[in-house]
Amino acid sequence: MATYPAAGLPATDGLAKELWDNVQHEVFMSLHDPFVQGMAQGTLDKRAFQHYVAQDAYFLHYFARAYGIALSKALALDEQTFEDLTGLLRGVHEELQLHGSYAAKWGVDMTVAGTRPSAATKAYTDFLMDVADAGGQDGSVAEILAAMLPCARLYGFLGAALAGAHGPQAPDQAPPCHDYWEWVKTYSSQEYLSVPGLKERMFERLAGKGADKAKLLALYRRAMQLEAEFFAAQPYSPPPRRFSALVVDFDETCTARDTIGGLMRLAAAAAGQPGRATAGDAAWVSATSARLADAYVAAQGELLGRLLPEGAPDATCYDAAGLEALLAALSDFDAAMNGPVEECGILRGSTAAEVAAAGAGLQLRPQCREVLAGALGRGIPVHVLSVNWSDVYVGAALSAAAGSSSSSSSGSSSGALPVRLAGEGEAAAAAAAAAGPAAVELLCNSLQLDGSGLTTGALTKRVQSARDKRAALAELRARLPAASTAAAAADGSTDSGSSSNPAALVYVGDSTSDLGAMLDSDFGVVIGSNALLRRVCRRFGVRILPLAAAPLDPRRVPAGTLYEAVGGWAEIRAFLFGVERPGEAAAAVGGSAAVAAVGTAVGTAAVGTGGGSASLPRVLSIAGSDSGGGAGIQADIKAILSRGGFAMTALTALTAQNTHGVSAVHPVPPDFLRRQIDAVLGDLGADAVKTGMLPNAECVAVVAEAVRQYRGAGHALPLVVDPVLVSTSGHALAEGGAAAALLRQLIPLASLVTPNLPEAQALLGGEQIVDVEGMRRAAQQLQAMTGCAAVLVKGGHLRPPPPPPQPTANSNGHDGAAGSGILDPVAESVDVLYDGSTLHEFRGPWIHTANTHGTGCTLASAIAAELAKGLPLLPAVAAARAALLEALRASAPLALGSGVQRPFHHLHMLPVLAPAPAPAAASAAAAAATAGVSIAPPAAPGAGSGAGSGALGRVDLGLLTRQLRLYAVTDPHCNQKAGRSLLEAVTAAVRGGATILQIREKDIDGGDFFTEAAAALKVCRAYGVPLIINDRVDVALAVGAEGVHVGQSDLPAAVVRAMIGPSRILGVSVKTPEQAAAARAAGADYLGAGAVLPTGTKDTDVIGLGGLEAVAAAAAPLPIVAIGGVSAANAGDCVNAGCAGIAVVSAIFAQADAEGAARSLLAAVDEALATKQKR
């Protein structure tokens, strides 16, 4: 059985080992990072290692500082601790000397002064300094060690694991001969491995029995996450692996044990019910089950005795022919053994509902569900091939809502996993494939039903053996390209010049029935400890290596080689998805929230500022240069800036143009375009990308590949594609193949495509668009043809007739000021948005002006900036469109240039110069109307609106739902009566188990509020609890709180969302379903609903449990909390009404023992949630 060397693991069974075991996902993210794997495999770009050496040396200087601070705090401790810390500090000095040798060899400036830290490096060093400085001279040395241990232990683990995976596999084998193997040798050496061991023993001694495990774990986890982000931040790393499909077995792969026994127990239960036509009573079922099992074991033993005789030598190389014969014999055997089961009728007499209920109670392996859901979310098709007797049984186990069957020891962020049963015929399969990977496709046997809906005991056989699984896999591989032609082209896999690895098919299995399919896959991954599988592999020369030995390029997998997921599904997750952002990681593994908001993923623009962070929404514009400054990348920069974003650029072409038109175009070489994109994304990162002029198919391919790779690394990246093909003057801005490349490669990746009428006509083959109805058809056709998320067809070319003469100010009061454009009282400007299910029409008055050059570029860039802030698509389009119309109106008198293509002034798009936002609407429809949007009925029956779903936001609803279980809301009057300060109240609540905390202070000055909130934030961060500020957006942003909560009479939710950006939580108080729908459309992340019962803290209307249930239904998929009169006694009623948790004030803060009250409330909520999940 493949393992990772014990030398790299914690030697103790104490707290250090417990912390290590709790962060395995973060550990495996580093192990499977392309930079780390590129070092071990010797394929790393020299520039990546040069950058790493300089960054690591910079980090080590701060690491040494942290040791120095720990030493100063250890003066009051025992002499052994002081000596150990002194030795560790000396070790850092020696490690810096090692880096000095690297620097000399690789030509690196290793001085701190000469190194500009990347965002990931800065985030890590800021975190270390914050922890080291915490508490002043009386701060905890154990906490400093908890933040420093992950670095030492991880490097030891990586060194040992990589040496075992990529080093000599036999005594006579030479070690790898490449420049980076020295790094592996250093960190796998006994000399180095003694360092983390020493540190862990000291940590155990200092932490003691009274340690705050939750805080230490939060520090440890954060440091391990920052380690993974540090590796992922190295530029010029190898491209990440890409995957065409994930195929998995079910029994003992998704589950920890075989589940056939559950169907047998179901048969026994059916036999005990009157009126069921079963083959016998419960005693007969028990005896028959035992007889069938004994017969199977005996027959299999006899067969294996012939196929694998004792004493026969194991193969010294891969024996494909011998293995083929064995799998054929085992396949015949497995198919034959289903016969006695059918003949005896033991599976007769159960209903489909009973079978599904039994399946829903099955336990999946930890993180299995998260991996399947994560693959679907990333567009990777997921297929389950199972020899189980019942697809209903297996499907129910997979699709059960997260937590309903203890599917993972850590919970799930995925909710119910959608499952689609296969086997309905080729046409259905092709249609399902064309629809995309929206659900897990299950291919399995079925229990046949009679006319009364009871199982007959007969099977519909689809997958019975290794042979059937291999055939199903071959069929799947054959139809994968046809299933996603647009996606395959868009990610660059059809381009011969693509620098990325080919997309790989991964099969995860555990037994001999999976063996052939695993070997037929690009990566065959073994999970579990099946002894027969290993016996067969040894006999026929199949090697099982640790998963860390898998090459980055699937074409380099040696024949007859499988890879074992030693770390289970947690390791498979890291292998597939790479480094995930803190919110995503915590959501999936149920870990504590980050201790300090200093850095997130690769390239974050956040910079640590004393425990908080400052950032800007980052937009990368990939477009051509307009020398006249009105359109192109110049317009993009001005639009992004005006909407509060940070603009970054990658030039695709230089143009010579002015207000008379384009006179020349000089495309940028595709390789240089890619270098620009990599330079930006590898350091600064991006929150959205906007593309404009792409002059040729090669540039389209470069952009598509870059977007796919950035998303493949775990980054959510909205993409706005403005398909610029022809200039306003009629000059072709793209070569002939560019339009086809856009349709095939880039548009399928888009969050939004923004063609004007000529561009839409060109993309759709020339069909003329002459009215709004034609715009609607074009939007729907383009979305259906490409599979992009949404299409905005702009109606600016549907010009109305000239307006009537304008009266003067003296005749009717119109001011006629130079700053005003002419607003046509009759004609409208209309843009049509189709999001895949619903048509939305944006209407407003037509502005008669000649200054329209660059409007298309500007609108697309402004939308990208709003998406980068975290706005959902519909509000983002509305906000950008409103800003553009105001700029056109205000710029009407402007006269720049002597031609007809005159620009407008982007200064008028600044929010401070735009008209004040309209009051918050009372419903989603009213809010849409206020923004100039009318929602048309869907063209197809049953289509629902995707507006306001928040799908492009950054808050993870799975994680947030768990954090809302116990929502503590502070109250100054309660605290005053209890004789405690706000900080004391907050500390008691989070110690007692409050999972999220809101500070509500209505009668306090801003400066005092800031001071108290900053102190509370430190406490909340120490316990991994998000802090929400009630009403005061300014205070929330100033202290760096996790979010803001507003009521119906506070700032409108859409305005607050635009102010706080995508990464902060937005909560809204509601009482009615209409208010819930409006809040969801405005970008809320959760809702507070109530009052449920009368309360003494606030005069409010009571909505009761019925009203609570109605709000929950209208809010979906947003989580809600019940507030007002809620207690432990009625927490269960609130949960059953659809709440994720309860929000309480006096139930905690009016109690003498606030900590104990919080603890009791959380227990009540968790019990209610567990009871609900079991139903």
Residues annotated catalytic, as ranges: 794, 852, 854-857
Structure tokens given for 642: 């005006």
Nearest Cα residue to 1122 out of 1105, 1147, 1097? 1105
User: In sequence order, what are the residues at sequence separation of 6 or more whose Cβ sits closer than 8 angstroms to the Cβ of residue 478?
Assistant: none
Structure tokens given for 1032: 């005061």
How does DSSP classify residue 449? E
Q: Residue 403 — left, alpha, or beta (φ > 0 → left; ψ -120 to 50 → alpha)?
A: left
Nearest Cα residue to 474 out of 422, 521, 511? 521
How far is it, in rounded angstroms, from Cα 987 to Cα 625? 55
Residue pair 519/298 in contact (Cβ under 8 Å)? The answer is no
Nearest Cα residue to 379 out of 15, 788, 810, 733? 788
Structure tokens given for 1126: 């809620």
DSSP string, 504-538: EEEEEE-SHHHHHHHHHSSEEEE-S--HHHHHHHH
The Cα angle at residue 335 between residues 331 and 337, in degrees rounded to 5: 115
Pairing state between β 419-421 and 440-443: parallel
CB 32: neighbour CB atoms within 10 A?
27
Pairing state between β 618-626 and 646-658: parallel
Q: How far is CA 985 from CA 211, 415, 1006, 1131, 1141, in A?
A: 22, 34, 20, 22, 20
How far is it, in rounded angstroms, from Cα 214 to Cα 1090? 32
Q: In what order do the strands lie in the sheet with 646-658?
A: 661-667, 646-658, 618-626, 688-691, 719-721, 752-753, 791-794, 822-834, 839-848, 933-935
The Cα angle at residue 736 between residues 734 and 741, in degrees rounded to 5: 85
How far is C-alpha 142 from the geometric centre of its chain's CA atoms? 33
DSSP string, 353-382: HHHHHHHHTPPBPTTHHHHHHHHHHTT--E
Nearest Cα residue to 752 out of 946, 491, 935? 946
Nearest Cα residue to 635 out of 864, 859, 848, 820? 859
Nearest Cα residue to 642 out of 820, 883, 849? 883
How does DSSP classify residue 593? P
DSSP string, 415-448: -SPPEEE--S-HHHHHHHHHT-S-SEEEE--EEE
Half-sphere exposure of 277 (CA within 13 A, CB side): 9
Q: Residue 392 — left, alpha, or beta (φ > 0 → left; ψ -120 to 50 → alpha)?
A: alpha
CB 198: neighbour CB atoms within 10 A?
15
Query: For residue 364, what are the β-bridge partners?
Result: 255
How far is it, in rounded angstroms, from Cα 364 to Cα 1036? 40
How far is it, in rounded angstroms, from Cα 769 to Cα 778? 8
Burial of 478 (0-12, 13-18, 19+ CB in 10 A): exposed
How far is it, in rounded angstroms, from Cα 712 to Cα 929? 37
